[in-house]
Amino acid sequence: ELGERRAKAERMFSLMDGFLKNDPLSLQKDILHHVEYTVARSRFSFDDFEAYQALSHSVRDRLIERWHDTHIYVKRTKSKRLYFLSLEFLMGRSLSNSVINLGIQDQYAEALSQLGFEFEVLAEQEGDAALGNGGLARLSACQMDSLATLDYPAWGYGLRYEYGLFRQVIVDGFQHEQPDYWLNFGNPWEIERIHVTYEVKFYGTVEEVDMNGERHKVWIPGETVEAVAYDNPIPGYGTRNTINLRLWAAKPSNQFDLEAYNTGDYINSVVNRQRAETISNVLYPDDRSHQGKELRLKQQYFFVSASLQDIVRRFKEEHNSFDELPDKVALHLNDTHPSLSIAEIMRILVDEEHLGWNKAWDIVCKIFSFTTHTVVAGGLEKIPVDLLGSLLPRHLQILYEINFNFMEELKKRIGLDYNRLSRMSIVEEGAVKNIRMANLAIVCSHTVNGVSKLHLDTLKTRTFKDFYELWPEKFQYKTNGVTQRRWIVVSNPSLCALISKWLGTEAWIRNADLLAGLRDHVDNTDFHQEWKMVKKVNKMRLAEYIETMSGLKVSLDAMFDVQVKRIHEYKRQLLNIFGIIHRYDCLKNMDKNDRRKVVPRVCIIGGKAAPGYEIAKKIIKLCHAVAEKINNDTDIGDLLKLVFIPDYNVSVAELVIPGADLSQHLSTAGHEASGTGSMKFLMNGCLLLATTDGSTVEIIEEIGSENLFLFGAKVHEVAELREKGSTLKIPLQFARVLRMVRDGYFGYEDYFKSLCDTVEVGNDFYLLGHDFGSYVEAQAAADKAFVEPEKWIKMSILSVAGSGIFSSDRTIQEYAERTWKIDPCRCPL
Ligand code: NBX
């Protein structure tokens, strides 16, 4: 029978005519095939978008081949697998990244040009997959790229939101949010798996029943929803390995049909089915106001339940005993959002697989690792007990039992220190009882990770101090990283070519440490010339974008000074705007002669404010009000321009970052867990102006403090400065700028009042006033360096040369070796 099966498989493979071919002629045939049969357009008339669709389907076919092979190979080797659980992935576009990682970029470019199309033009047709908010979500995406490239047997799990992060539209300088219905034009990068479905239960009651003489808890759900898998192949670079990102969508389950049958209320039951689909409908923007929302909790559990059913099913296919689970499965919690997994796996092992509690707990404690992306305790996630108890009654019982056991153990370890016991409890007592998701994740994970060295210090000494003292060995850090494939190779082709030319190899694309070799050429004037040209090309690209978007013409001789990230008070975009107002004020008061020595600047700010975050929205409006004034002042001309780039997202970042001369990272020390934007700028030869916060501490170690512009209070000074309150000395210049805004120099004085209040003496939590003096000095140092091009270029080269360790390949390798204990599993060619 086996022989028969094999013969059949061989015949099928020969019918397939082997794997797809990648020469330009075959690619053209494939593209035309998809024009005709997938997009269903005539081969004589199809537009750029249709060409993009056909092109991406031909790329998808190639991804699928490798993805199948990887899957089969990993299954055969029974390797330990990593399951990366995250509610957010900011993937951006897939086309360019895919053809580059598949290594068939040139062939596609040639094929298309012979068909009369340009690859870059078609690539612009693709919309972003924006299933996440900011740093945390883009980090997941970079890490998936590294997991695939380094051949790790890993799966990503997430939610397939129908609406991604809102689109930001600016009307009269105010942010408006528009829904991002990204699936409107189809998504060639996903594969719908109509047969990979699981039932996810909600509500209902828990009963105890007798089974073979044992008492078991049984959960009788009140509602059932179906989860359907959508698979997204993630290709590695320089390897055949292509891993899977499985995203779940909610579909009504057949359970509902029964109800209709019973009640005869056919129409209403069909209408009710819609309700199920709302679970995976929309991504919550990160504004904390969603805490305590039932839909958010439903999303989390829906995601966790479907993923764990899938993971357990796969494990049982390959293994006989759950004792093997810790050797075969690593589950990673990307922040606390998926930490209901802990209660869910306990429920599966105890209620469904009938393992004893203690045995199940032993196993569970060996499989989870956890990374937190938060700094302040106030930012940690909590779920009201009432909400949890009604939606997931059995899980609440399990959480109480976990907590009871933990509290008992803790009492043995620390005695009856009730304050500490109550701080460490998973259940927060009070008017509203809450489950503290971080405490749960820490108790059950074998490793708790910070995302930078400084972040770990804060976790140990403040955020999770009690836990650190109990389990010091659990606490580690893995400094974040970003993938050089997307952030240099895809987004900055000219720099990519230049680096490869001077290093004499493309090996740095898989091994970013090799970038250090650029130091050998740091004094070479030919190299400098070419380096300068690359930046110019990228600045031209950015200037064109600015002009089409806003009509503003900017000078390429100006320093392009960029701050792009989510708008947050702690990130201090307001400090940047105040600095710009100060610069403008100085220019206005300068005589013509002095103005000639001024370095012209194009200040670029971009980022989204959470819809409910009023102060952040006012910062955006202030930016526009200031821009309006400055940009229309003909007396100032090209000396100063301010541009707000709307709807900042991954593909806008790919355009903006390579074109920046200077980038700003201004968080008050101790508030940015890591920051990853800075690493992308560093890789693109952009100099940083930054506080010593998050991973900037490590960037300084790598490139030397002489190669960036530092300012501001240090992390150990912040608490004391805050204590000083209204006695803190504030520079006169700061008071003057604040007065200008208050007095309506830029209009809207009533609207800006509450914004000004947040930085008024005595109320200035993020210390803008205190840091303003050194900020202005750092800006002056940047100006001074910019007029010495040789010096600037050297600093820029040394930035790229020192960026190697900020590759997510390094981060992922550390996680694999130290935390997940997984080995590469390279699919043969
Ligand atoms: O995670 C960010 C940190 O603020 C950065 O410092 C860090 O570099 C990055 C990656 O480690 N955190 C972040 O992006 N958080 C969120 O986006 C978020 C989303 C949903 C939510 C809470 C936070 N409920």
Strand partners, 210: 215
Q: Residues enclosing ligand 1, CB less than 6 A?
A: 133-137, 139, 286, 373, 451, 480, 672-676, 694
What is the arithmetic mean of pLDDT over 542-546?
A: 98
Rounded distance between C-alpha atoms, residue 310 and residue 305, angstroms: 9
Take atom 18 of ligand 1 and give the residue whose Cα is closest: 286
Residue 38, SS3 per DSSP: coil
- pLDDT exceeds 90 at position 2: no
Give, in order, the Cα–Cα distances in Å from 627 to each of 94, 183, 288, 603, 632. Answer: 34, 35, 30, 9, 8
Rounded distance between C-alpha atoms, residue 109 and residue 116, angstroms: 10
Take atom 13 of ligand 1 and give the residue whose Cα is closest: 136
Question: How is domain 484-806 classified at the architecture level of CATH?
Answer: 3-Layer(aba) Sandwich (3.40)
Per-residue pLDDT tens digits for 126-184: 999 999 999 999 999 999 999 999 999 999 999 999 999 999 999 999 999 999 999 99
Of all residues in the chain, the percent with pLDDT exceeding 90 is 92
Residue 178, SS3 per DSSP: strand
CB 657 within 8 A of CB 491: yes
> What pLDDT sits at residue 18?
79
User: Ligand 1: which of 86, 136, 463 to mutate, most ligand atoms within 8 Å of CB?
Assistant: 136
- pLDDT exceeds 60 at position 559: yes
> What pLDDT sits at residue 588?
98
Of the candidates 162, 95, 86, which has an alpha carbon nearest to the alpha carbon of residue 122?
A: 95
Residue whose tokens read 């007396």: 635
Rounded distance between C-alpha atoms, residue 169 and residue 177, angstroms: 6
Report the DSSP pairing between strands 167-171 and 174-178.
antiparallel
Helix boundaries (H) for 415-464: 418-424, 437-444, 453-458
The set of residues, in sequence order, having a beta carbon less than 8 Å from that of 366 and lying 6+ positions away, is 325, 326, 446
Rounded distance between C-alpha atoms, residue 143 and residue 335, angstroms: 14
Q: How confident is the model at residue 262 (pLDDT cuts 50, 70, 90)?
A: low
Q: From the candidates 485, 539, 571, 624, which is the catalytic residue?
A: 571
Q: From the candidates 486, 566, 621, 810, which is the catalytic residue?
A: 566
The structural domains of the chain, with segments of one domain joined by +, span 79-93+128-479, 484-806
What CATH topology corresponds to 79-93+128-479?
Rossmann fold (3.40.50)
Active site residue 66: no
> What pLDDT sits at residue 802?
98
Mean pLDDT of the chain, nearest integer: 96
Active site residue 566: yes
Per-residue pLDDT tens digits for 80-116: 999 999 999 999 999 999 999 999 999 999 999 999 9
Active site residue 316: no
Residue 121's φ and ψ, nearest 5 degrees, are: -65, -40
- pLDDT exceeds 80 at position 715: yes
Distance 743 CA to ligand 1 centre (A): 36
Chain centre distance of CA 236 = 18
The ligand 1 atom at the shortest distance from the C-alpha of residue 667 is 6
Residue whose tokens read 């690859």: 119
CB 433 within 8 A of CB 427: yes
Active site residue 676: yes
Distance 715 CA to ligand 1 centre (A): 20
The ligand 1 atom at the shortest distance from the C-alpha of residue 673 is 6
Distance 134 CA to ligand 1 centre (A): 6
**Number of CB atoms found within 10 A of residue 1's CB:** 5
Distance 137 CA to ligand 1 centre (A): 7
Rounded distance between C-alpha atoms, residue 342 and residue 363, angstroms: 11
The set of residues, in sequence order, having a beta carbon less than 8 Å from that of 31 and lying 6+ positions away, is 51, 54, 55, 58, 111, 112, 115
Residue 234's φ and ψ, nearest 5 degrees, are: -120, 105
Whether this model's ipTM surpasses 0.90 comes out as: yes
Residue 639: burial class (beta carbons within 10 Å; 0-12, 13-18, 19+): buried
> What pLDDT sits at residue 12?
82
Q: From the candidates 160, 298, 373, 486, which is the catalytic residue?
A: 373
Same fold, 79-93+128-479 and 484-806: yes
The ligand 1 atom at the shortest distance from the C-alpha of residue 379 is 22
The ligand 1 atom at the shortest distance from the C-alpha of residue 695 is 8
Active site residue 474: no
Active site residue 571: yes
Rounded distance between C-alpha atoms, residue 175 and residue 752, angstroms: 15
> What pLDDT sits at residue 256?
54
CB 50 within 8 A of CB 116: no
Element (H, E) at 795: helix 789-801
Distance 566 CA to ligand 1 centre (A): 10
Take atom 21 of ligand 1 and give the residue whose Cα is closest: 286
Q: How confident is the model at residue 261 (pLDDT cuts 50, 70, 90)?
A: low
Per-residue pLDDT tens digits for 106-125: 999 999 999 999 999 999 99
Per-residue pLDDT tens digits for 274-307: 777 789 899 999 877 778 899 999 999 999 999 9
> What pLDDT sits at residue 433?
97
- pLDDT exceeds 70 at position 786: yes
Distance 292 CA to ligand 1 centre (A): 19
Q: From the candidates 565, 618, 641, 671, which is the catalytic residue?
A: 565
Q: From the candidates 394, 478, 617, 680, which is the catalytic residue?
A: 680
